Amino acid sequence: MSGARKGPNHGRTALYLSATVAGMLGLTYASVPLYDLFCRVTGYGGTPQRASEAEARAVTTDAREFTIRFDANISGGLPWTFKPEQTSVTVKAGEQKVVFYKAINHSDRPVTGRATFNVTPDKTGPYFVKVDCFCFTEQTLQPGQDVDMPVLFYVDPAVSDDNRLNEVKTITLSYTFFRDANDVPAASATQGAPGATTN
């Protein structure tokens, strides 16, 4: 008499599926910092480059000029006003320039924000270099506090060697401030608080 046929091993299948889902989630979380690193290294998607103060001091200027426009936005229920203190500046390639953005916390509690940024046209990303920027760290504003936040940057003179950018005369540096993921909004901080967006 033949033995009974064994049914499918549902426990093993469930284990495999659980491991697969966990692996996919792990890859998803890992892909965000890896993608961010890729963008910072290559300038992909209009991501500016970074340089140390020593590296910036070694850069020479050339005669090519650019108009740099400044854009500011807020999102994610952030109860701030956020805007550039000047709409544009003119710089020569290699010339370091400091500009300021202003942020005001309109809520009745400390609020922490974090900025994302990019430049357009996207293809200028590899040549737009930030030496110092408020976007490198989270920013916490106390109730009613207003701050001036500096950005020190230059346009890499190597831009003149890239024929794809011969027609580019204007570069827009854009920031969007979001409420930090670890900052839980209070009801009083998100209701009726004015925010500003400049474009």
Q: Report the phi/psi class of residue 87: left, alpha or beta, with left for phi > 0 and alpha for psi in -120 to 50.
A: alpha
What was the pLDDT predicted at 14? 64
103 closest CA partner among 1, 2, 198, 6:
198
What stretches in the chain show pLDDT beneath 70? 1-14, 16-46, 184-199
pLDDT tens-digit readout, 31-55? 334 334 333 443 334 577 888 888 8
Whether 157 contacts 62, CB under 8 Å: yes
Condensed to tens digits (0 to 9), the pLDDT of residues 75-93 reads 978 999 999 999 999 999 9
User: Residue 144: which region, alpha, beta or left (left: phi > 0; alpha: psi -120 to 50)?
Assistant: left
Distance of alpha carbon 154 from alpha carbon 142, whole angstroms: 31
CA atoms within a 13 Å half-sphere pointing along the CA-CB vector of 78: 28
